[in-house]
Structure 1
Amino acid sequence: MRALETCLYADNLDLAEPFYTEVLGLTLQGKVAGRHLFYRLSGSMLLIFNPGASAQPGDVPPHAGQPGGHACLAIDRADTNRWEARLKAHGVAVTRYAWGDRGESLYFHDPAGNVLELAPASIWGILDA
């Protein structure tokens, strides 16, 4: 089993979209203005919902959370420095954390206050893809 979707919440999708598309370079799969942004990752999806809109009845059961969640996106261990430089070039404050010989994580916030992490799978003892 593996995670197919990861969901975060953002009150302002107009701020979230350029962050995830331009800063992180993710591919936008679909969106409904004011409701959600869906991004394709390698083998899974990242869903960004407006909590007020996703709590409304519709085709799927209503659900909502609050901004302030956490998601970790896997990167190649060799790309950690490149990602740190890219984030900082976009004005994103980055905290780097070493997991001993397993690799390093980059922690930062999106515009909604969600804590994002970029890290190699080796921090969990999983071989990098």
Structure 2
Amino acid sequence: MTGAPRIDAILETVLYVADLDRGLAFFRDVMGLPVLSDQERLKAFDVNGRGVLLLFESGATTETVRFPGGTIPPHDGQGPVHMAFAVAAGALEPWRRHLEAQGVAIEGEATWPRGGRSLYFRDPDGHCLELATPGLWDGY
């Protein structure tokens, strides 16, 4: 058996939310992510040119979408999932101050064996979000 072809990166990460407009406001205004697409069906954000964060309404993507270019299979998710944003080592404390000024509670923090540090907090839908500095993983 031969090895799989190389994967270059994770392109999209999806969160399922109860209110798309509330999610849009949080990730645009609190997290500072530029809006790539503000459609009725989904919201898309640029993550520093290195990825895309998509928001879909919970339960609203359980049917196949057909359009002139093809089909998108059904998908959905539930519960408070986890995702991490990469930030520079010197950005963690400014992020802490920014989140606290926005009324976002820091729920946890960690210092990792390789020297990375993380802050944990929640979005309005209860997803566990992390800001992580280099030194968390091999290669980061």
Q: TM-score, normalised by structure 2?
A: 0.83
Name 1:41's counterpart in structure 2: 47
Q: Output the CA distance in 2 between the equivalents of 1:2 and 1:121.
A: 17
Q: Output the CA distance in 1 between the equivalents of 2:138 and 2:90.
A: 16
Q: Output the CA distance in 1 between the equivalents of 2:76 and 2:38.
A: 17
- Aligned CA RMSD, in angstroms, stands at 1.4
Aligned residue for 1:102, secondary structure, equals coil
Name 2:69's counterpart in structure 1: none
Any gaps of 5 or more consecutive residues in structure 2? 1-7, 67-71
State the structure with bigger RCO (CA 8 A, min sep 6), 1 or 2. Answer: 1
User: Is 1:61 equivalent to 2:73 in the alignment?
Assistant: yes
Aligned residue for 1:93, secondary structure, equals coil
Instruction: Assess if the C-alpha contact under 8 Å between 2:114 and 2:137 holds in 1.
Output: no
- Mean Cα deviation higher: 74-83 or 117-126: 117-126
Question: When you count helix as a share of all residues, which structure comes out higher?
Answer: 1
Aligned residue for 1:54, secondary structure, equals coil
CA drift of 1:113 comes to 0.9
Q: Partner letter of residue 98 of structure 2?
A: R
1:96 to 98, 109, 124: 109
CA drift of 1:36 comes to 1.4
Instruction: Assess if the C-alpha contact under 8 Å between 1:8 and 1:67 holds in 2.
Output: no
Name 2:98's counterpart in structure 1: 86
CA drift of 1:126 comes to 2.3
Percent identical across equivalent pairs?
35
Q: Which has the larger radius of gyration?
A: 2
User: Is 1:124 equivalent to 2:137 in the alignment?
Assistant: yes
Instruction: Assess if the C-alpha contact under 8 Å between 2:112 and 2:135 holds in 1.
Output: no
CA drift of 1:25 comes to 0.2
Q: Output the CA distance in 2 between the equivalents of 1:100 and 1:9.
A: 32
Name 1:75's counterpart in structure 2: 87
Name 2:5's counterpart in structure 1: none
* Count of residues in Structure 1 that have an aligned counterpart in Structure 2: 126
Q: Output the CA distance in 2 between the equivalents of 1:29 and 1:67.
A: 25
User: Is 1:5 equivalent to 2:17 in the alignment?
Assistant: no
Any gaps of 5 or more consecutive residues in structure 1? none
Q: Which runs of 4+ in 1 moved over 3 A?
A: none
